[in-house]
Amino acid sequence: MAEEAATSFTSAMTLEQSRVSTIPQRYVFPPSQRPESNLPVAATLPVIDLSLLHDQSLRDQTFREIQIACKEFGFFQVVNHGIDQSVMNDALETASKFFDLPNEEKMRLFSGDVHKPVRYGTSLNHTRDEVYCWRDFIKHYSHPISDWIQMWPANPTCYRKKMGKHSMAIQGLQKQLLRVIFESLGLNPEFLREEIEEGQQTLAVNCYPACPEPGLTLGIPPHSDFGSITILLQNSAGLEIKDHNNSWVPVPYVEGALIVQLGDQMEVLSNGKYKSVVHRATVNAEDKRLSIASLHGFGLETKVGPAPELVNENHPKAYKEFSFREFLDFISRNDFAKGRFLDTLKMN
């Protein structure tokens, strides 16, 4: 651990616990980047009952809804996805217990190095962010789970068991969703099956403590996730996505639902037919918000480029290949709040 980085470290939880009535200047975003208050809650964001895919008579319609959601938003929520509510609740409770631990305990896992398979931190990367965001996190590689689970937090003692159960369930759901999404692109559902099996799963467990001035800061600034898809579990609302008109749309909290977001690898694979969704998290004055984002992608060194089936005369190849490693190298060199990695891949 870099001494300097560690000594200058203040978690968002520490600030919340010190009951400050205003936020430190370092957390104040420029006015143009602050959240808008009173955005209309969009009734139109898609919520899909995944169980209907198994119903002969409703499969086509449900499939079509997923296709439209991917094209329109790069985003949808799923219900009846087959993961037990108790598994999800346990994971969120475990996350809550982790962030409630004393700082010294959490700092054992601290690292500012984005290449580390397990790391605790605050903001995006507090060693380089110019403006801090109101967020603490623990991120860890999660697949194959036996490779990584020994490195996950040992405290709270239930962490590995409960987070592991959730993580494996989500990994299974991911495979099911990718098959449908590939099919919706006109690809074989078996497309990249082995690469998916050997792909990466990273859990980003996020904590956004109650914030005395939620209008001045963000929990996480606008970005798209790098991978194929992200499956996000949350305990309350706070996520916002950017729609086609470049407007921020708050994502409503739906009991029992999981949020599915398309990432940069999907945009590249689809040769731009689908776009990765730009999103951000706001914070609130009342309650700590927790989320568990499961980021799925291909192997560290696997190069992902547009699917050959989607490249033709009318749709020339629009993106360069990239690997997860190249993405990590990019974010370790650049403040990802400033420029999008995806833009470096666009051709012409």
> Contact positions toward ligand OGA, by CB under 6 A?
204, 206, 220, 225, 234, 238-239, 279, 281, 291, 293
Nearer to ligand OGA, 114 or 239 (CB): 239
Check residue 37 and give left, alpha or beta (phi > 0: left; psi -120 to 50: alpha): beta
Nearer to Ni ion, 138 or 307 (CB): 138
- In whole angstroms, the minimum distance from the beta carbon of 291 to ligand OGA comes to 3
Binder of residue 202, out of Ni ion, ligand OGA, none (CB less than 5 to 8 A by kind): none
- In whole angstroms, the minimum distance from the beta carbon of 78 to Ni ion comes to 17
Sign for the pseudo-dihedral over CA of 285, 287, 288, 293: negative
Please state, in angstroms and rounded to a whole number, the distance separating the CA atoms of residues 247 and 276.
15
Nearer to ligand OGA, 185 or 239 (CB): 239
CB 39 within 8 A of CB 249: yes
DSSP 8-class letter at 301: T
Nearer to ligand OGA, 178 or 204 (CB): 204
Binder of residue 204, out of ligand OGA, Ni ion, none (CB less than 5 to 8 A by kind): ligand OGA
Helix (H) or strand (E) holding 269: helix 264-269
Helix (H, G, I), strand (E, B) or coil at 245: coil
Nearer to ligand OGA, 165 or 279 (CB): 279
Q: Does 225 bind Ni ion (CB under 5 A)?
A: yes
- In whole angstroms, the minimum distance from the beta carbon of 225 to Ni ion comes to 4
Binder of residue 206, out of ligand OGA, Ni ion, none (CB less than 5 to 8 A by kind): ligand OGA
CA within 13 Å, CB half, 264: 21
Q: Does 267 bind Ni ion (CB under 5 A)?
A: no
CA 176 → CA 72, 115, 134, 249, distances in Å?
A: 21, 28, 34, 27
Binding site for Ni ion (CB under 5 A): 225
